[in-house]
Amino acid sequence: MKNAILILSLLLPVLAGAQLKFTINGTVELPDSTRISLVTQGNKPVVIQKTRAINGKFSISGEVKEVMMANLLVFSKGEMQTRTIYLEEGLIQLNAGKNLTAATVMAGPLNKLWDEWQAGHGSKLTGLDLHEVGNFVKLHPGSPLSLDLIVYDEEKRHKWYSLFKTLDASLQGTDRAKLYRKNVESDLSLQPGSTAPDFTVNDPEGNSWNLSDYRGQYVLLDFWASWCKPCRAAVPHLRELYNKYKDKNFTILGVSIDKNAQDWVNAIRVDNSNWKHGSDLEGHTGKIARLYMLSFVPQVYLLDPEGRIIAKDNYEKVLAERLGNQ
């Protein structure tokens, strides 16, 4: 889900405020009225346009704000065929025969470059070799394909970031690049060694507190919600940790992404989670959820007395190392 949200957010601005005009003319050996869709690239594609094959031909014309990668899709005899192309200015001629996936494309230099890349590496945009992508970017620092080889791999986006910064300024100024930079820098701010972003919430009594108020202590920052079963199931273990370390300069801060105040307060009472709690009651789209990129809960961060993140998933091991012998 997180991947889908990121990739969709990278693509939507490209469809807004359209300026670039393209036309795709295609020939296919498919029955009349077979539906052909043009959709955005990514895990959660957005339909740009649909058309139908008539007498072995189809045509799609439209506008996008920036040059972008897209997929032509067709369902034929129970199977999906797809051909990835670039929407670039002007005419894109596609000759498919019976197999859209193997279609030849005659268009501008970007589609030619994409086909050259595919010939050696395939059409996948994830799991790519960093060295090979680096060599390509070095040769083509101003190509939108270089940008796309970087931004689509969610699992490697931190590793790609130094490579991203070598792209031409013209590419780094595109909407897709700006959003990629914003997301990666937000991610980097949540990695061990970074200072946890500060925020303000209200406790169940309506009193506000800041994360930075708890500098000087080890803090287990627990993001949760009343409707989250794994979050609620973790409370007994968190209570054990709290009782074990609370006299050793340690506390837990529970931050809920609930929207309903009564559900939140009732969950605290029922679970007897007797540490500090807070929420902005704005749900998973609120400021804090966006600040910490909370596409799911529970999520836990262990902070040192200076407010730096020192652990995430392995927080119990780090707690034991830091406080176990005190």
pLDDT tens per residue across span 287-300: 999 899 888 899 99
Report d(CA 31, CA 36) in Å as an integer: 11
**Start-to-end Cα distance in the chain:** 41
- pLDDT, position 75: 85
The DSSP H or E segment spanning 121 is: helix 109-121
pLDDT of 326 over the 90 cut: no
Confidence band for 17, pLDDT divided at 50, 70 and 90:
low
pLDDT digits (tens, 9 = 90+) for 225-247: 999 999 999 999 999 999 999 99
Sheet with 276-279, side-by-side order of all strands: 208-210, 200-202, 276-279, 250-256, 218-224, 299-303, 309-311
pLDDT digits (tens, 9 = 90+) for 23-64: 999 999 989 889 999 998 876 788 999 999 999 999 999 998
pLDDT tens digits along 137-163: 999 999 999 999 998 877 777 778 899
Band of pLDDT at residue 79, cut at 50, 70 and 90: confident
